[in-house]
Amino acid sequence: MRHALALVFTLLTVHSAVADTKPNFIVVFCDDLGYADIGPFGSKTHDTPVLDRMAREGMRLTDFYSTCSVCTPSRSSLMTGCYPRRVNMHVDEKNLCVLFPAARKGLNPSEVTVAEVLKTRGYATMAIGKWHLGDHPDFMPTNQGFDHYFGIPYSNDMNRKNVPLPLVRDLKVLASGIQKDTTITQQYTREAVKFIRANKSRPFFLYLPHTAVHLPLVPAKRFRGQSRDGLYGDWVHEIDWSMGELFKALEECGIDSQTLVLFTSDNGSARARQGSNLPLRGRKGRTDEGGMRVPCVVRWPGKIPAGTSSDAITSTIDLLPTLAHLAGTRPPGDRRIDGKNIWPILAGKAGAEAGHDAFYYYQMDQLQAVRSGPWKMFVPMKAKKRNWGKPEPAQPLKLFNLASDIHEDKNVAASHPDVVKRLKGLIDQARADLGDSGRPGKGQRKAGWVAKASPRLLESATP
C-alpha cells in the first residue's frame, strides 16, 4: 500500500512539474521588412529556406499588423500591448515621428513591459538589437524588465556628431560610429545563441529586434551577391541564416519543443529602393495596408498546428497578453491594455474568434483609418504638411472590402452606408479614448521625460 501511495505521489509530482513547465519565447522583430520579402509570403526574389521551413512547421498570420508604420511607435506597442497613442510614444519631443539620439523622451518606466510581466514568472530576459524607445538610462532595456541588453539603441542611420552611433552592452558603450558595420547581424546572432545556451534549463524571453533591413544596407561580406535583389536581398538572406542559427541552438539544447518563436517586422518596406509589400498597396510611413500589415510566422512544435494560416486580425499589441497567458500569468490589471490573448487562434482551436473587432490605423497623432472584419474605412482628411517625406494629400472618405480588394483599389463607401455608419461609430470611440490630431484622449497615459538627456557615449561608460 505504501508503495502504491508513493507511486501515486510520484506521478502527481511529475504531472505537477510538467504542468508547471513554462515555455520559452523568442520574438524576432525585423526593421522595414516588407510583406512579400520572405518566401512564406510570396517573395519572388529572396530565398528564405529557414523561414519557409518555419512556416511549414508553424502558422502564418496573414492579417498581422504593426500599430504604426514607423519605428519607435511600433516598438512601444510590442513592449506594452498598447497603441502608441495610449502610451504617448506616437511622436518625439519635437513632434517628429521617431526618437532621435539624446532624446529627453522615452517609454515611461511606469509602463509594464512584456519583459517585466514574464520576470514575475521567473523568466530570464534579454533584448538584442535595435531598441529605439529612449537612450537615457531610465528608458533603456535594463530599466524596462530586461536582465541584459546588447545592440544599437536606435536606427543604424542615426549617426550624429554629438552621439556617434553606439554599440551598447547594458549601459556601456563598446564601440561608436558603427553605422556601416557589416558584422552587426552576426554579432546579434552570436549573442542570441549564447543567451539560449546559458538559459536552456530555465524559462527565457529573448527579444531580437534586428537592425536589418533598415538603411544603410550592411549585410555581411559572405552574403553579398547571394541574392537577386542587391544588398537588400543579401541582408534578407542573412536574416534567414540567423533564424537557422537560433533553431539549431534550440535543437542542440533539447528545448525546441518548449519554445515559441515568432518572426515579424516593425512596418512595411520603404519600397523606394528595394523590397516588396505586394499584393498590398503602399509602403512604410503610410496607413495603406503595405505600411502596417506585416509578415508574421509563429512556430511551436506540438502546440501550434503545422502548415496552417490564419486571417484573423492580430497585432503586435497581442504579444504581451498572449505570452503572459502562456507563462501562467496575466497582463497588469491596473491599466488599459489594447492587446488580446490570441492563443486560441495560434493553437488552431475550432471557432476561435478574430483577435480584434476593430483595429485602428494611426499615423503619428492622426487617426486615419479603422478596420473591422473585412472592412477598412479611411476617414476624410484635409491636406497637411508632414515633417518628413512628401506632403499628405487631402483624402475623401473611402471604404474597402479587404477580403475581395486587398490592394485597396475600389472605394465602395457609397454602396455600403450601413458599414460606413458603423465604422464611424468606432472612429468616434477611438477619438474619445486615444485622441486624434492634437486632441488628447481620456485613455492616454504619459510618456517618460527627463530634465537632461543622457545618451550612450563611448567616453561615458556609466550612467
Per 3-state DSSP, the chain is made up of helix, strand and coil in percentages (nearest 5) of: 30, 20, 55
Q: Which of helix, strand or coil describes residue 87?
A: coil
CA 339, 341, 343, 348 torsion-angle sign: negative
CA–CA separation, 403 vs 417, rounded Å? 18
Instruction: Tell me the β-bridge partners of 448.
Output: 106
Whole-angstrom distance, CA of residue 44 vs CA of residue 31:
20
**Would you call 132 a catalytic residue per the annotation?**
yes
Preceding omega of 236 cis (within 30 degrees of 0) = no
State how far Cα 30 lies from the chain centre: 8
Closest by Cα among 91, 90, 81 to 111: 81
Is 71 assigned a catalytic role? Answer: yes
Cα gap 6→336, rounded to integer Å: 47
23 vs 288: CA distance, rounded Å: 35
Q: How far apart are CA 191 and CA 152, in angstroms?
A: 13
Catalytic residue chosen out of the listed positions 46, 132, 136, 214: 132
Q: Which of 30, 71, 82, 253 is catalytic?
A: 71
Classify 138 as helix, strand or coil: coil
For 458, phi then psi, to 5°, come to: -60, -40
Q: What is the CA radius of gyration of the chain?
A: 22
Rounded distance, CA 93 to CA 348, Å?
43
Residue with cell 563611448: 458
Q: Residue written as cell 512604410?
A: 284
Q: Do 26 and 256 contact (CB within 8 A), yes or no?
A: no
Amino acid at 453: A
Instruction: Round to whole Å and give the CA distance between 171 and 401.
Output: 48
Nearest in space to 214 (alpha carbons), one of 167, 176, 264, 270: 270
Catalytic residues: 71, 132
